[in-house]
Amino acid sequence: MIIRILGEGQFDMDDVEHLNVLDDWLQAAADADDEAAFDQALNTLLTAVREEGRPVADDDLVVSDLVLPHDGASLSDVRAMLGDEGLIPGRST
Amino acid sequence: MGIASRLALLFRAKANKAIDRAEDPRDVLDYSYQRQLEMLTQVRRGLADVATSGRRLDLQANQLQQSADKLHDQASEALEVGREDIAREALNRRAAALDQLAELGPQRESLRNDEQKLTLAAQRLQTKVESFRSRKETVKATYTAAEAQTRINESVAGISEEMGDVGLAMQRAEDKTAQMQARSQALDGLLSSGALDDVTSLSGRNDDIQKELDSARGGSQVELELAQMKRQLSGPSRAEAVVGRPGQTAPVPVDGSAPAVESPPAADNQEEGGGRG
What was the pLDDT predicted at A8?
93
Q: What share of chain A is helix, strand, coil (3-state, %, to 5)?
A: 50, 15, 40
> What dihedral angle (degrees, nearest 10) is formed by the CA atoms of B215, B217, B218, B221?
160
A50's CB contacts (< 8 A; 6+ apart) are A5, A8, A11
| Residue of chain B whose Cα is closest to the Cα of A91 | B35
B203's CB contacts (< 8 A; 6+ apart) are B194
Q: Report CB contact under 8 Å: B168, A27.
A: no
Q: Report CB contact under 8 Å: B2, A62.
A: no
Distance CA B227, CA B250 (A): 8
Say if CB A26 and CB A42 are below 8 A apart: yes
Domain spans in chain B, listed from the N-terminal domain onward:
7-197, 208-242
Q: What is the mean pLDDT of chain B?
A: 76
Distances (CA, A) of B264 to A58, B233, B270: 90, 10, 12
| Residue of chain A whose Cα is closest to the Cα of B155 | A61
pLDDT per position as a tens digit, A45-87: 999 999 999 999 999 999 999 999 999 999 988 888 887 543 3
pTM above 0.80, yes or no: no
Distance CA A53, CA A57 (A): 12
Q: Best interface-test mutation with A: which of B1, B3, B29 has the largest number of A CBs within 10 A? A: B3
Percent of chain B with pLDDT over 70: 71
**Which residue stretches of chain B have pLDDT < 50?**
202-209, 237-277
**Cα angle B239-B243-B246, degrees, rounded to a multiple of 5:** 120
Domain B7-197, what fold? Butyryl-CoA Dehydrogenase, subunit A; domain 3 (1.20.140)
